[in-house]
Chains A and B, each alone.
Chain A
């Protein structure tokens, strides 16, 4: 596709379950970012990938959160033992190397019940 694709668009899960969120960046974009946005709040940085490596993981809120990227393309954000405070929209963005604009996907709305 032409843009950043995220799946699923919506996910409802029970507290304590694990979830996986997927991001397909724009083809050829080597930089990939994950953010989350709680209801009515600003965007919170989670992790940044350059290729398959993650030089900046400073935003991951706890060790229940992890992310990987394979083949320099698709990335998966995994949340283990979900809690209600994990409920948010999780946004992915990608960009070319260098100071170019980042393109965001439409996000995955995660609801933990």
Chain B
């Protein structure tokens, strides 16, 4: 079962910042927060991930609260091409550094309007 809660849908105006919230109140200390998105008819695309510090890359910023129970993905200047379903996922890191499966919930359908 997904360990995250996201709003089912959000709207954003083109050129404005899109702030997508995610609750993960049962997150444990060895679990990372990952964000993926899926544009219609395509495979999911990695956006960003973090453990406890805020992260920024060329696509987005990830803000994680101090208690790590929630996070926000920020798309600073949303474009029409950012319309997609956005998935927030918590993923454990194994002791051996191996990869664990990503458990996708229902995500947030973001619609960027012109």
Contacts and interface: CB of A to CB of B under 8 A. Distances in A.
Interface of A: 4, 31, 33, 35, 42-43, 45, 48, 50, 55-56, 59, 91, 93, 95-107
Contact of B44 (A96, A99, A104): A104
Given A43-B44, A50-B98, A99 B91 contact: yes
A103 B46 contact: yes
Given A95-B99, A97-B98, A104-B43, 17 more contacts: A4-B43, A33-B101, A33-B102, A42-B105, A43-B38, A55-B98, A91-B44, A93-B43, A93-B44, A96-B99, A98-B93, A98-B97, A99-B97, A99-B99, A101-B49, A102-B46, A105-B43
Contacts of A98: 93, 97-99
Interface in B44-68: 44-46, 49
Interface in B1-25: none
B42 A106 contact: yes
Tell which of B43, B91, B107 has the most Cβ of chain A within 10 Å.
B43
B43 A97 contact: no
Interface residues of B, number: 22
A13 B12 CA distance: 41
B103 A97 contact: no
Nearest to A34: B101
Tell which of B32, B101, B102, B104 has the most Cβ of chain A within 10 Å.
B101
Nearest to B45: A104
Tell which of B32, B34, B93, B100 has the most Cβ of chain A within 10 Å.
B100
